[in-house]
Amino acid sequence: VVEPIAFDGKMDDVKSFITSCTLYINACAGELGDKDTKVLWVMSYCNKGMAHEWCKIEVQKVNNN
């Protein structure tokens, strides 16, 4: 199973990114563990453009709690 490509936040790419992540998570569910780990895994691919800016804010929120 191919891992998703990095997501930059462009709306035209959202469905493709979600589909790629879902396929990978379903195929490799045992490797990714619980829901929180899966969310962090998806967020790790939000590493460009607007998606990266959003991800940084969300990580700060988690670290502050």
pTM: 0.86
Specify if 4 maps to a domain. no
Q: What is the pLDDT of residues 16-60, one digit of tens each?
A: 999 999 999 999 988 988 998 999 999 999 999 999 999 999 999
Question: In this model, does residue 62 exceed pLDDT 90?
Answer: no
Asked whether residue 2 is domain-assigned, the answer is no
Kindly state whether residue 42 falls inside one of the protein's structural domains: yes
| Domain around 37 | 11-64
63 confidence band (pLDDT: 50, 70, 90): confident
Residue 1 maps to a domain: no
Distance CA 48, CA 28 (A): 24
The pLDDT value given to residue 58? 92
CA angle 64, 4, 58 (to 5 degrees): 10
User: Residue 3 falls within a domain, yes or no?
Assistant: no
For the chain, the domain total comes to: 1
* Residue 6 falls inside a structural domain: no
